[in-house]
Structure 1
């Protein structure tokens, strides 16, 4: 039995004060990943601070600049089915609905989705070393069974991948994360929120101690006309991505004016290549262009044996998803992408 204290906060200031003054405290929203980590003895909080009654965390509202603010406490399912998200940011809606199960999406919060931890088997096994769990202990995945592991951005210390689907779409959409903490409020560009492992794989993101995610801002441009989210996994439901791709395009006829391509399941954070997106600008939107962009994105990709297949899989996924984005209706069951 792990005993713990429980408190409720009604404002972000109150929540931050509570967590700052109690060692071992954790924020509690949906708790879907927290319970997993607790069961496997990876975390053992001595106090839970329930943030579900903080009003500013539980709203979705349109911004004066034309964007949309997603409250960090708003549930994943409610976000995916929100009419403004469905109409203006369908890429995000599709990505959320590709993740987990309906039951988990009903409980999981937007802020918690950003903070979920890797599903690496070695991370969850206390009998083996893991630099992410115990820094300096080693990374058995490099020489072990590494089928689900990283092909991009890895380090000698860690080859784990980040599991979120929602965050892949948020990366492609250039979202911004708003946080509050003891030092005040600040905003973090989504590309800078998560970290690559380097020599500190135990740090998943760039939050400072005791900071609370308050909201996520989406820019005005939602790429609602040409988008696609593709998730390749071992089974259709309740499985994490081997490779996922979020593609958003702005087209002028058959010419690409702007392209966004973000990958999931391949690195310690959602992966995006500015060089590949710059290459696609002005190119004809076809399989050849997407294949050349894929080569740029995957130029530094490295397999570790069991996951070598991911490199070819990722290239094919990028091409296929680019073609699907030309006709979003091709994402309907049974439809085929345009040639």
Structure 2
């Protein structure tokens, strides 16, 4: 492991200033993904900036009726918080479906959003990987690509984003608050992560030195109907083959509003805006769910080993939509 310096930040401003002064620095809090990458020589920063002691570990109600979650709140604290369990159960379920209890106890909200792909070709330096080393190639395209993307991929990268929490936040219209050299700004979670395009080495739209300080959840009446369905190879500590975050409100069997996002299928959580628009005003029945899932996957481009993800996504979406509609039905 390359030697690196270490500094503990005492304020967000100090953290940002350190990161800008030494631009190959890395922020570290829980370290559940950063340390893995350091040990695998995927990151070789000149300095680690410890932000774990900053005052960013509260969950509080906002004036508009939403919730603000500090970037250093642990995944366990979010999942078990009474307000989250009551008003945003989708988020709680998504977090509890990811990793192990021990990891959730130290992993942070900000770190969860910034975790990098678990593509084995990215972690194995014997293989070419454009995400690890730009312009070197993508071994996964012709390799074992069972876990890889079927939507939004490029010839340069077919990796998928591993977060469960981010998929739920995308469906919930959450916003990421960040602080940088130009002050504080907000980025919708749906726009926070990048598609790979020609620059798969960049995972997010953060600018140099920017630090995640909070995630904001807007008031969301439909959120109580939320369903998070995760399909994976084993029941615990496994990343999604396909996951679905769905929220549907129904009155007299007519869909009033729908929110839908997929995980495990793209380089970022995949929000299905067109499918949501299609569902509004339709009958909440099996035919509608089937037509919606066909629309959602019409642009899928499966690879040699992951054709199954197309049908698996459709079936998971049908089930999640049906379950959410049943919870959100009013007569």
Q: Secondary structure at 2:301's aligned position in 1?
A: coil
**1:263-297 deviation per Cα after TM superposition (whole angstroms, max 9, x unaligned):** 00000001112111011001122222111111111
Q: Is residue 173 from structure 1 mapped to residue 211 from structure 2 by the alignment?
A: no
Q: Which structure 2 residues correspond to residues 1-339 of structure 1 after superposition, within 5 A?
A: 1-55=1-55, 57-327=56-326
| Counterpart-to-counterpart distance in 1, 2:38 and 2:214 | 25
Structure 1: which 5+ residue stretches go unaligned? 330-339
CA RMSD of aligned residues (A): 1.3
Q: How many residues align?
A: 328
Q: What is the CA distance between 1:99 and its match in structure 2? A: 0.6
Given the superposition, is the C-alpha separation of residues 69 and 222 from structure 1 closer, same or farther in structure 2, using an over 3 Å criterion?
farther
Q: Secondary structure at 1:250's aligned position in 2?
A: strand
Q: What is the CA distance between 1:158 and its match in structure 2? A: 0.7
| Counterpart-to-counterpart distance in 2, 1:89 and 1:82 | 10
**1:52-76 deviation per Cα after TM superposition (whole angstroms, max 9, x unaligned):** 2211x11111110111101011101
Q: Secondary structure at 1:27's aligned position in 2?
A: strand
| Counterpart-to-counterpart distance in 1, 2:40 and 2:243 | 27
What corresponds to 1:335 in structure 2? none
Q: Secondary structure at 1:144's aligned position in 2?
A: coil
**1:30-49 deviation per Cα after TM superposition (whole angstroms, max 9, x unaligned):** 10000111111100223211
User: Which deviates the most, 38-47 or 227-236?
Assistant: 38-47
**1:159-187 deviation per Cα after TM superposition (whole angstroms, max 9, x unaligned):** 11000000000000000111000122111
Asked if 2 retains the 8 angstrom alpha-carbon contact of 1:173 and 1:222, the reply is no
| Counterpart-to-counterpart distance in 1, 2:79 and 2:26 | 26
What corresponds to 1:333 in structure 2? none
**1:236-273 deviation per Cα after TM superposition (whole angstroms, max 9, x unaligned):** 00000000000011221322100011000000001112
| Counterpart-to-counterpart distance in 2, 1:258 and 1:279 | 10
Q: What is the CA distance between 1:327 and its match in structure 2? A: 4.2
Q: What is the CA distance between 1:17 and its match in structure 2? A: 1.1
User: Which deviates the most, 175-184 or 218-227?
Assistant: 218-227
**1:194-218 deviation per Cα after TM superposition (whole angstroms, max 9, x unaligned):** 0101111111110001100010110
- Structure 1 length as normaliser, TM-score? 0.94
Q: What is the CA distance between 1:135 and its match in structure 2? A: 0.7
Q: Secondary structure at 1:196's aligned position in 2?
A: coil
| Counterpart-to-counterpart distance in 2, 1:140 and 1:17 | 37
- Structure 2 length as normaliser, TM-score? 0.96
User: Which deviates the most, 222-231 or 37-46?
Assistant: 222-231
| Counterpart-to-counterpart distance in 1, 2:307 and 2:212 | 36
| Counterpart-to-counterpart distance in 2, 1:182 and 1:289 | 48
Q: Secondary structure at 1:311's aligned position in 2?
A: helix
Asked if 2 retains the 8 angstrom alpha-carbon contact of 1:130 and 1:138, the reply is yes
Asked if 2 retains the 8 angstrom alpha-carbon contact of 1:228 and 1:328, the reply is no
Q: Secondary structure at 1:123's aligned position in 2?
A: helix
